Amino acid sequence: MKMKLSQIIVALLMTVGLLVGLEIVTATLLPLFNWYDYRLTFHVLIIIFLAIRLDTPLTPWMILVLQLIHSAFSVEGWAIGTFAGIIILLSANYLKEVLHLTTALMTMITVQLFQIIWFVTVTTIICLKISDFSKFGMVLWSFVPGSFILSFIAPFLFWFLEKIWRGSSESSHGVGI
């Protein structure tokens, strides 16, 4: 099944809207309730979804767009996450035949696995940039609780994203998880 470019753009815009909403939750709403540590990095979840679910040459560019939006909310910038996104995309392409997100539990485990790949990639690059690997363990400590929460949220968010991307497709069947 193929999607028209216009359909992809509509779905991408909706995904960007969702990302902006979730970034505001992380950056503003949760800190108002004293949730400062263990940030929920929703952009990682969305990018993992795109990497696993879509099979289009445009996916890297979509990751770039999402990361550019994310860079307005974080000094991390767009580049490191885009690179990590490409690594996730390549990994997902190799593992696609064995990835069967048939249950919520499988989705959570898969998302946790890809979050670890993301974390290792991003943190290694940051440590290389600041020439200090002593912070790796501390960042790991802050990553673990947030990543578990994200993995629990993943089935719901994926269901929602599935609606967005399936709705843009002309087919009534869409994607089988």
Partner 1 sequence: MKLINESSKTKVVNNFIVGLLAVYGISQKSFHLDDPTLFEKIVTEVISPVQEGIVSSKQSISSLWDNYLMIVNTSKENELLHKQISRLESDISSMEEIRKENLRLKQLLNYSDELTHHKILAQVVGWDSANEFKVIRVNKGTRHGIRVMSSVITDQGLVGYVYRVTPNYADVLTILDQNNRVDVLVERTRTHGIVEGVFNFTCALKYVMRNEPVEVGDKLLTAGVGGIYPKGIKVGMVRDIAKENFGMTLNIEVVPSVDFDKLEEVLVLVPQQVEESK
Identity of the residue, 31 or 103, whose beta carbon is nearer to partner 1 in the bound complex: 31
Identity of the residue, 75 or 98, whose beta carbon is nearer to partner 1 in the bound complex: 75
Least distance between partner 1 and beta carbon 105 (Å): 22
What stretch of H or E contains 140? helix 136-167
Give the C-alpha distances (Å, rounded to integers) separating 87 from 55, 57, 173. Answer: 15, 15, 29
Least distance between partner 1 and beta carbon 59 (Å): 8
Least distance between partner 1 and beta carbon 90 (Å): 7
The dihedral formed by the CA atoms of 22, 73, 120 and 80, expressed in degrees to the nearest 10: 130
Least distance between partner 1 and beta carbon 61 (Å): 6
Query: Nearest to residue 163, comparing CAs of 25, 11, 17?
Result: 11
Identity of the residue, 77 or 105, whose beta carbon is nearer to partner 1 in the bound complex: 77
Least distance between partner 1 and beta carbon 153 (Å): 15
Identity of the residue, 106 or 139, whose beta carbon is nearer to partner 1 in the bound complex: 139
Identity of the residue, 119 or 154, whose beta carbon is nearer to partner 1 in the bound complex: 119
